[in-house]
Amino acid sequence: MTYDVIDRARHRTRRWIAVVTLAAAAATALGVAAVTALRDEPTTAAQQTDVTDAAPVTDSAPVPDAAARAVALPADLKWTPVAGISLPGSGQAGPLDTGGGAARRFSHDEAGALLAAVHITVRCAPQLGPGVFDQTLQAQVVGADAPAMRSKVGQDYDHLRANAEIPYGQPVGRLEAVLRGYQLTSYSQQAASVQLLTEARDAQGNPLLAATAVQVQWTGTDWALLAPAGGDLSTAVSRAGSPDGFHPFIPGR
């Protein structure tokens, strides 16, 4: 999931993208976003769909976890575009409910936790607009830092739409990233930790990889995203040198 840096980003050399981002975002993030990746500084005013106060992505690459195993993803895995980033989904593992732009009802297993991490992270992106991120943040983000995350995403959205001169309530921009893989670093019936690998392109078209650490918790009825420290998802993003150690989203693997 892509977060660009507005006017002040001309004085920075990094962007953070969250699926996140994967998820995440999408990703991953987005994480994704909520799925995430990195980009260099913006090239034109038209491309400045950025977040003023976004923290820079750390340069430390995630160390592949030897214990991170592949998830047995369902055979019916399909990809659906969401605001410019394609996300995997399944009739078995979820999301089974995407009404109103949300993503709900994930299976209570490893595959459901992984897909929830991707979809929820991406739908917390300010680019999707409050019609999507408000309901996601209110109903599907938990933890002590959930209020701070709601505030942060709302502020980021206000910066984006003001810069783009878009009325409140409308989506702003697209998440120009590709979800490349994941690591399931821990799993239990109550919680799971995931690293989501995403790829974006810099101004010269060079690929840039980033990993976003995402945690989800089982609420008793569905998976929910655990808000990151301070409510700022960019703190969970790190630069990745290669896809080594990450598993692709392939059914049965």
Q: pLDDT of 204-230, one tens digit each?
A: 888 889 999 999 999 999 999 999 999
d(CA 159, CA 41): 17
pLDDT at 136 over 50: yes
What are 138-158's pLDDT values in tens digits?
999 999 999 999 999 999 999
pLDDT at 35 over 50: no
pLDDT at 68 over 90: no
| Backbone angle region of 45, left / alpha / beta, with phi > 0 → left and psi within -120 to 50 → alpha | alpha
User: What's the pLDDT at 52?
Assistant: 34
Q: What is the mean pLDDT of residues 3-27?
A: 34
Instruction: Note the pTM of the prediction, 2 decimals.
Output: 0.78
- Residue 72 has φ and ψ, to the nearest 5°, of -75, 90
Confidence category of residue 175, pLDDT binned at 50, 70, 90: confident
